[in-house]
Amino acid sequence: MPGSCSEEEQQEEQKQSFNVVTVVSQFADDNLTLVRNISTGLAVAGVLVIARSIRLITKFSSPSEIPTRFIERSISIRGRVRRVTESGLEVEHVPIYVPLVSPLLTKRQPVASLDVRLAGVELTPQGQEWLSQRLRPTQAVWLRLISRQEESLHCLVSGSIFTTCINEELLWLGLGRTAPLQGVDPHSRLYFKIHRRLLKSERRAEKKGEGLWKEESLRERISQALSSNIVVATIKRMLNWMSRTKDRQCHTIILIHYKTGSYCLQLNKRQRELKKYCSYLHFHTVLTVLSERMIHHPVLPG
C-alpha cells in the first residue's frame, strides 16, 4: 500500500508540472509578438548596460574624460578633423553610433575638439602644409591613443584602420623628425616598438634624400657660402658704391668759365680721352679742380 501511494503522488506532480508547461506554452503561442518584444527589450537593455560601462558610445570633449584603461591598452577611437595646427591636429571625437540608442544616451552639447599631437614626430612647416592638404576638414580619422599629457593626446593617426600611419608618412617624405614619445616609459615594449618604426621611416627618407634630408647641389652650396662670407659681402658693397658714383659722374655736366669764354665738358663723351692721359687718382683730382673753378667762376651771360 505505501508503494502505491507514492506512485500516485508522483503521477499527480507530473500532471501539475505538465499543466504549468502547457499553460506557459499556450500563453507564448497566443502572445508571440509580446514575447518577442520582451526578448528584444531585454537584449537591448543588456547591450546598453555593457556599452555604458565600457563607454563605447560616450563622446569625449576633452582628454581628461578618456578613461585611463583606454590609453593603457592603446585603444583606437574615431574622430573628425577640425583643423591643422602648428603642433598637430584638432579632432572632434565621434563615438560608436547605435540607432535609437545613441540619441538617448548622448546629450546635445557644443562641439569640442581634442588637441592631438603626432606621437614621436616633430613637425616642420612643410609638414604642416602637407597635413593641411592631406587631411581636409571633417575628414574621418582614427586615433590610436599612446599617452596623455595635460590637455593633449599623443596618438598614431591614420585615415582608416587599415591605411598607413600618417606619423610614418611624414617621416617617409622628410617632412618631420623623430622625437621622444612623450608620456611613455622609454624602457617599455610599446616605446621600443613605435620608436623603431618611426626611426625606420626617417632613415628611409634620409637615404633617399627626401624633404629636409635633400642635399644641396655644389653650385647652391658655393653660392650660399659666398653670400655668407663677410669679405665677399664687403667687396660687393664697394663695387656697388663705385658703380653708383661712376654713373653720377658720367651724367654730370660741368660748365667751365675761364677768362674769355665758357666751355662745356660732358664726361660721358670725354671720359675715355681723360683716362688716356691721367691716372685714376689724377682723374678725380681734375674733376675736383674743375668743380672748384665752376663754383668760383659762375656762368656769365653770353
Q: What's the distance, CA 10 to chain centroid?
A: 80
Task: Quote the DSSP letter at residue 64.
Answer: G
What's residue 21's pLDDT? Answer: 54
Q: Is the pLDDT of residue 119 over 90?
A: yes
- Among the listed ranges 71-85, 218-232, 264-278, which one has the minimum average pLDDT value? 264-278
Which residue in 197, 90, 84, 69 sits closest to 145, CA to CA? 69
More confident residue, 126 or 275: 126
What's residue 240's pLDDT? Answer: 76
- The Cα–Cα gap between 120 and 180 comes to 5
What's residue 238's pLDDT? Answer: 76
Task: Quote the DSSP letter at residue 85.
Answer: -
Counting beta carbons within 10 angstroms of the beta carbon of residue 169, is it exposed (0 to 12), middle (13 to 18) or buried (19 or more)?
buried
Which residue in 172, 152, 160 sits closest to 90, CA to CA? 152
- The Cα–Cα gap between 116 and 148 comes to 10
Q: For residue 2, how many other CB atoms are within 10 A of its CB?
A: 6
Q: For residue 154, how many other CB atoms are within 10 A of its CB?
A: 24
What's residue 216's pLDDT? Answer: 57
Beta pairing, strands 88-93 & 76-84: antiparallel
Q: What is the CA radius of gyration of the chain?
A: 44
Q: Which residues of 58-69 are buried (b: 16+ CB within 10 A; e: fewer)?
A: bbbeebeebeee
Q: Is the pLDDT of residue 23 over 80?
A: no
Tens digit of each residue's pLDDT (9 = 90 or more) over 63-104: 999 999 999 999 999 999 999 998 899 999 988 776 665 666
Q: Pinpoint the residues of the chain covered by CATH 2.40.50.90.
A: 63-213
Q: Is the pLDDT of residue 194 over 60?
A: yes
Considering the chain, what is the average pLDDT of its residues?
73
- The Cα–Cα gap between 167 and 117 comes to 10
Q: Is the pLDDT of residue 258 over 60?
A: no
More confident residue, 227 or 75: 75
Task: Break the chain down into helix, strand, coil percent, rounded to 5.
Answer: 55, 20, 25
Query: Strand locations in the chain, DSSP E?
Result: 76-84, 88-93, 114-118, 121-123, 140-149, 152-158, 176-178, 253-258, 261-266
- The Cα–Cα gap between 115 and 151 comes to 7
Q: Which residues pair with 177 in a beta bridge?
A: 122
Q: With bands split at pLDDT 50, 70 and 90, how would you rate the model's confidence at 125?
A: very high
Quick one: average pLDDT of 43-69? 71
Q: What's the distance, CA 212 to chain centroid?
A: 15
Q: Which residues pair with 152 in a beta bridge?
A: 115, 149
63-213 CATH pick, 2.40.50.90, 3.60.40.10, 1.25.40.10, 3.40.50.720: 2.40.50.90
